């Protein structure tokens, strides 16, 4: 279908849905989206008065459509209180967003791949693969974020969870590539098995408030032909 598809039944399980040039608007709690294709479309769970928490998105993809992309694009998935498993985000200017922590709670991202690409129409792009803006506790496991700037548009970072009323992070297994600093963190948390692709950055591999991080393990890597990280050297925080 084309346009807005609204899910307003609590506990609904929606499978094998394809939406083009629109929004999958989740207004009920504990909804599951499975094998969903959002083409030139986004998934949102906080467009009404309350946040539709308990959203699960699995085995799904959010990809660009045929229309030119712009830097006014919504995040592929927003706002909070959701879990993403085996989700592909590809070719869009914004990836996952975590926000509305008081209404929505935290976000979990597992076994997913994000490739954000600078918009075709670029004036003031602040794109990210994962961004927190007033976000709750964020958990990331076995996820890859590739940040591609094709037209010197700028953008922000593959991973950006700054001190902007965000809560905390728990990261174990994250590959980041591209951007000014591929990994930017300003909140408390733990970081393990962080892999930054060698020489993919503009300014440096990290922008982290290391005094807030209670556990740290990271490496500079290259990627082999199977898409697996191969360590080049350890990457201390600081």
CATH code: domain of residue 134: 2.160.20
Q: Give the mean model confidence (pLDDT) for residues 135-163.
A: 96
Residue 217 DSSP SS3: strand
C-beta of residue 148 within 8 angstroms of C-beta of residue 158: no
Tens of pLDDT along 43-58? 999 987 789 999 999 9
Using a pLDDT cut of 90, give the percent of the chain over it: 94
CA distance 199 to 201: 5
Measured in degrees and rounded to the nearest 5, phi and psi for residue 52 equal -85, 80
Q: What is the pTM of this model?
A: 0.96
In order, the DSSP letters of 191-213 are EEEEEEETT--SS-SEEE-GGGE
Q: How confident is the model at residue 213 (pLDDT cuts 50, 70, 90)?
A: very high
- Cα Rg for the chain, rounded, in angstroms? 17
In order, the DSSP letters of 15-68 are ES-EEEEEEEEE-SSS-EEES-EEES-EEES-SSSS---SEEEEEEEEE--SSP
Tokens of 36: 């969903």
Q: How confident is the model at residue 154 (pLDDT cuts 50, 70, 90)?
A: confident
* Residue 215 reports pLDDT greater than 80: yes
Pairing of strands 18-26, 2-7: parallel
CA distance 109 to 140: 5
Domain containing 179 equals 2-234
Domain count, the chain: 1
CA distance 235 to 69: 35
Within a 10 A sphere around the Cβ of 216, how many other Cβ atoms? Answer: 17
In order, the DSSP letters of 134-148 are S---EEEEEEEEEEE
């Amino acid at each position: 279908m084309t346009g807005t598809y609204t899910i307003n039944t609590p506990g609904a399980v929606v499978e094998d849905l394809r939406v083009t040039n629109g929004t999958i608007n989740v207004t009920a709690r504990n909804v599951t989206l499975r094998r969903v294709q959002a083409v030139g479309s986004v998934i949102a769970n906080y467009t009404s008065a309350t946040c539709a928490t308990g959203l699960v998105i699995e085995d799904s993809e959010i990809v660009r459509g045929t229309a030119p992309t712009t830097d006014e694009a919504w995040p592929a998935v927003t706002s909070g209180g959701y879990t993403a498993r085996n989700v592909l985000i590809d070719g869009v200017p914004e990836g996952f967003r975590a926000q509305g922590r008081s209404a929505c709670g935290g976000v979990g991202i597992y076994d997913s791949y994000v490739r954000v690409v600078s918009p075709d129409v670029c004036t003031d792009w602040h794109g990210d693969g994962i961004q927190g803006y007033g976000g709750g506790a964020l958990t990331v496991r076995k996820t890859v974020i590739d940040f591609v700037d094709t037209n010197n548009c700028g953008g922000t970072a593959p991973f950006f969870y700054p001190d902007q009323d965000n809560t905390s992070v728990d990261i174990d297994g994250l590959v980041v590539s591209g951007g000014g600093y591929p990994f930017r963190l300003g909140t408390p948390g733990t970081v393990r098995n962080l892999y930054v692709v060698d020489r993919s950055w503009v300014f440096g591999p990290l922008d982290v408030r290391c005094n807030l991080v209670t556990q740290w393990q990271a490496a500079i890597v290259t990627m082999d032909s199977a898409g697996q990280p191969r360590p080049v050297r350890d990457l201390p925080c600081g």
